[in-house]
Amino acid sequence: MTTSVDLTEYRQPGRGRGLLDVFSWRYLLRLLVRQGTQTRYRNSVLGWTWSYVKPAAQFLVFYIVMGVFLQFHRDIENFAVYLFAGIVVVNFFNEAFGNATRSIVDNGALVKKIYLPRELFPIAAILVAFIHFLPQAAILLVVCILLGWMPSVAGICGMLLAIAIVAAIALGLGLFFGALNVAYRDAQNFVELIQLFSTWSVPVLYTWQMPAAQLPDWLFAIYMSNPLVVAVELFHEAMWRPTTSSAFPPAEDMLLHGGVAIAICIVALTIGQAVFRRFERRFAQEL
């Protein structure tokens, strides 16, 4: 039986335009972000205070172990600022990546009931993590101002670029592992391992000079091209360095490493989106 109805404007169910569809669903994205921020500390006595308590406790532990016991503060001026500037970046990545990975499973009820761009969920998770990152960044900014920090165009641009890099790599990995996590819950264990490595494999508790002295040149180049390493160093350059008076050298070839890191983010987003689109039509059945 034939029909004269024009079907060219209709798409196969579950096959949208990927990340591009998010721009058409901004209202729902705002609702998901609002829900994520409002329910995070529901029925909690301290509420949003936990956004300050957790990073403060983490900073205190690292500072006592690395700064007091291991005496790293002797080699790094304003070690507390150096340490906290790195911690806020790593925390942003870990929370964004973890939330994006769990986003489809956590919103399984919506996924099974209605069709909407599934990418909304990991993107909303990234935005919620960014909102929780802001109080930590505000504390860092206040401390830096008290120590004589003065804003510069280059520093602000570096900060914004660092945030964009972290968000991009977290989204790319979150799309990839979030799709796998629906069918294979083992993906969450891999994510936790990556989060563990992210804390210790970037120059937060130590300087970039330590791996430079221990690694071969080719391996150090790979290490410095890690998007998270680049983001941490950009934050150090923007927030920590203006508070110091020493001639501590900046990381070498940052322009080159930054370019490679951005390319890695683009590749991660491309692969993550491709894998996500491959698995998304089975989300409702798997959940």
Note the residue count of the chain: 287
Tens of pLDDT along the chain (287 residues) come to 455 555 454 444 445 666 777 777 778 888 888 887 777 666 565 566 666 777 777 777 877 877 676 676 677 888 888 988 999 999 999 999 999 998 888 888 887 777 778 888 899 999 999 998 988 888 888 888 888 888 889 889 999 999 999 999 999 999 999 999 888 877 888 888 888 888 888 998 888 888 988 989 899 999 999 999 999 999 999 999 888 886 577 777 888 899 999 999 999 999 999 999 888 887 777 76
Task: Show me where the domains of the chain are located.
Answer: 18-35+48-286
Burial (CB count within 10 angstroms: exposed 0-12, middle 13-18, buried 19+), residue 260: middle
- Determine contact, residues 93/198, Cβ cutoff 8 Å: yes
pTM of this structure: 0.86
Task: Give which of 15, 16, 35, 36 is closest to 25, Cα–Cα.
Answer: 16
